[in-house]
Amino acid sequence: MRIMVAHSPDSDDAFMFHALVNGKVETGGYRFENVLSDIETLNRRALEGAYEVTAISYHAYAQLHHRYALLTTGSSMGEDYGPIVVSRPGALKGGGPAGKRIAIPGLMTSAYLALRLYQPDFQPEVVPFDRILEAVRTGTVDAGLVIHEGQLTFAEEGLELVVDLGKWWRKETGLPLPLGGNAIRRDLGPERMREIGRVLKESIAYGLAHREEALDHAQSYGRGLDRQKVDRFVGMYVNARTVDCGPDGREAVRLFLARGHAAGIIAEAVVPDWVEC
């Protein structure tokens, strides 16, 4: 049975799926095909149910839960770090992001929800995630909401940190900041959902157990990062919690969506539905 697995073309996702892509794990009779696209595109394609398994933003799950369930494996969570807001030095004059034009990577991203929870009063401007640093540097916007590798390279662009939303969320809740996860289409049925989830879990565990091998594969998705930065970035978002998000990870997702609903950002109250892997 063919299973389409969609994820971002980033070093952390490449690390997770190295074993799956390169035949390092037993697939149990399933034939997996990978699709690569940026996370906001994946969120929107999931609205159509385009793929059996897809990486999504946890924010987007509020609109997808009728069609998809969440796997307990494959989560990316910020452990006292996460998406950041950056600006040109002195551009915000110590006033923070309130009322400012801020480039964001998409309205369905978890980074956007986190920023809205942190500061509701700003003007979002959707910019492709890999062009946000440039938009900030050139003054097209006042600040930028940065995800992926830009979290490690913004200072090299001459920009300064305004706020780390992962640190803010940890201080607020004591929990990791839930960013993205793997969603699986409900029409596969409970048994297949669990079986497919277990294969994905084995792929992630293989990468962690064969780190240098998996980093070799991830390096080509690092968008110019050197080996040390790729290793650091992968370590941020692929770890033991990625193998299984754990009870506090699940609680973090529940609370994140509940706060989004209470703030009027998410229209529907949603309780996450998890598939144990």
Using an 8 Å Cβ cutoff, are 42 and 36 in contact? Answer: no
Among candidates 151, 109, 108, which has minimal Cα distance to 132?
151
Rounded Cα distance between 102 and 132, Å, is 9
Beta strand 68-71 with 31-36: parallel, antiparallel or unpaired? unpaired
- Residue 173 amino acid letter: T
Catalytic status, residue 18: no
Q: Where are the alpha helices (DSSP H) in the chain?
A: 11-21, 39-47, 58-64, 110-118, 132-137, 150-153, 165-173, 190-209, 211-219, 227-237, 240-243, 246-262
Strand partners, 35: 6
Catalytic residue among 148, 210, 217, 261: 148
Q: What is the DSSP string of 31-96?
A: EEEEEE--HHHHHHHHHTT--SEEEEEHHHHHHHTTTEEEESSS-EEESS---EEEESTTTTTT-T
Terminal-residue alpha carbon distance, the chain = 19
Rounded Cα distance between 41 and 131, Å, is 15
| Residues taking part in catalysis | 148
